[in-house]
Structure 1
């Protein structure tokens, strides 16, 4: 059962599919919208080239949990302001869950900003659990400058 779900799914007059190279400019536009929404524009350091009208995206990658196995890690779930509350996020999330099942993932994992109450409610509605409260996990990060500084210690 290691196959991806069907690439194209139609729901609520919107097509959900894996991104293609020609989507780069539109994905970049959405990433910039997300950065504005999260007050993190100063952290956007990537660029793109290309076209078409996208209204949202879900970026994921594979991770691995020592005790359980493969993990689908969700880096971003973003829907443009004008397209929220229309089932787009739910459809993107369902698509990601189908990918996780098809790839035999043992769990999905992500982080969310503590002030983003709409997202928190959405994830809780999906059955997600806040690990900082349940298991006491804290999230740490080293940025590029921090990594380089640590290497000089």
Structure 2
């Protein structure tokens, strides 16, 4: 059942302390291998500074008002943009999280619908994301939404900063 008091909107810098709270919450509820290395200061600088590296949508519970913080944030969706020389602008979905107490209330769907509107309004050619093969429910949800596995012949690589520093 959809939660009637949830508003999805682009995040502002003022939301950072609550987004940070949700990030820490996700870390605490996630696997041991999930450790948060992003600081609150870096979240503000890289997400809202003069050169933005990512964007955030937030799900706000307008029914829970706090005189100091305003409405409580109960979820987020992080994304950034990339460009493909073959097809054009791509929206890269990086993280979607909803507080466990607010799950199964249509909030992830509201975040998803909002990001789909962004894709259409800003003329992206597609949304791209990755999911671990062990996340069967998310894989099925992706397929049910009409998504397809882009290309199983590619490998995803990461080169951490520590390895770059060792290069000559």
Smaller-chain TM-score range? 0.7 to 0.9
Which residue matches 1:144?
Answer: 161
1:140–1:116 distance in 2 versus 1, CA, 3 Å: same
C-alpha distance in structure 1 between counterparts of 2:27 and 2:87, whole Å: 32
Q: What displacement does 1:101 show? A: 0.8
Shift in alpha-carbon separation, 1:61–1:118, aligned structure 2, 3 A? same
**Of 74, 78, 81, the match for 2:93:** 74
Residue by residue over 1:56-81, the C-alpha shift from the partner in whole angstroms, topping out at 9 and shown as x without a partner, is 10011111112100001111111111
Q: 1:142 to 1:111 in 2, by over 3 A?
A: same
Using the TM superposition, give the Cα deviation of residue 117 of structure 1 relative to its aligned residue in structure 2, in angstroms. Answer: 2.4
Runs of 4+ in 1 over 3 A off after TM superposition: 40-43, 49-52
Number of aligned residue pairs: give it: 139
CA contact (8 A) 1:64 1:70 kept: yes
Where does residue 45 of structure 1 map in the other structure? 37
SS in 2 for 1:43: coil
TM value normalised by structure 2: 0.73
TM-score in terms of structure 1 length: 0.80
Give CA-to-partner distance per residue, 1:6-55, whole Å, 9 cap, x none.
xxxxx732010000111111111222233334425663122227955211
Aligned CA-pair RMSD: 2.2
Which position in structure 2 is the counterpart of 1:35?
A: 27
Change (3 A) 1:136 1:117: same
